């Protein structure tokens, strides 16, 4: 190979490397005081932080009653509804979810056993339906406990904006 061809090849490789696009990263802050982001965009991929259920019944300090969060199915539905709302805020939908990770704590009402059927009962309302046939890759794990002592379910997802 002549020196001219070697130099030309080096120039072409150098130019191709310099043309690689930089990935834009954007953090979705729920508020200034939160220690974590609700999610992070990296290019066309959105990584949502784990979502816990909202209370079915709010705590009542005057009556001294704690909030009620429900069983695994109820908490799964709540977390999935929160995920759906966060996706919608970003111009996405459940059909854009490509990966889901579910963390399940044992339910004290079931002898601290995993309620996988409860999770599935909620999951199948969002994925694999006539209206939304897409199903993400999914992993589910039983954990000793979640960050909130009442939590039975935490769900995180990765979604991709299609082109």
Q: Per residue in 106-154, pLDDT tens?
A: 999 999 999 999 999 999 999 999 999 999 999 999 999 999 999 999 9
pLDDT score, position 29: 82
Task: Sketch out the chain's domains with CATH numbers.
Answer: 25-160 (3.30.1330.40)
Q: Is the pLDDT of residue 92 over 70?
A: yes
Q: Is the pLDDT of residue 1 over 80?
A: no
In angstroms, the CA 116 to CA 121 distance is 9
The answer to whether 44 and 21 have CB atoms below 8 angstroms apart is no
Residues linked to residue 100 through DSSP beta bridges, in sequence order: 138, 157
Residues in the chain: 163
Q: pLDDT for 98-112, tens place per residue?
A: 999 999 999 999 999
Q: pLDDT for 43-78, tens place per residue?
A: 999 999 999 999 999 988 898 898 999 999 999 999
Q: Is the pLDDT of residue 4 over 80?
A: no
């Amino acid at each position: 190979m002549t020196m001219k061809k070697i130099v030309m090849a080096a120039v072409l490789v150098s130019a191709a490397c310099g043309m690689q696009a930089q990935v834009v990263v954007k953090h979705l802050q729920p508020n200034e005081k939160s220690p974590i982001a609700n999610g992070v965009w990296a290019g066309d991929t959105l990584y949502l932080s784990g979502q816990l259920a909202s209370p079915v019944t709010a705590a009542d300090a005057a009556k001294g009653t704690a909030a009620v969060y429900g069983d695994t199915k109820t908490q799964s539905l709540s977390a999935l509804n929160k995920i759906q709302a966060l996706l919608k805020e970003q111009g996405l939908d459940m059909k854009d979810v490509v990966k889901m990770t579910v963390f399940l704590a044992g339910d004290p009402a079931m002898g601290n056993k995993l309620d996988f059927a409860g999770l599935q009962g909620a999951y199948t309302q969002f994925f694999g339906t006539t209206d939304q046939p897409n199903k993400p890759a999914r992993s589910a794990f039983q954990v000793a406990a979640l960050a909130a002592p009442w939590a039975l379910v935490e769900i995180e997802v990765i979604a991709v904006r299609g082109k």
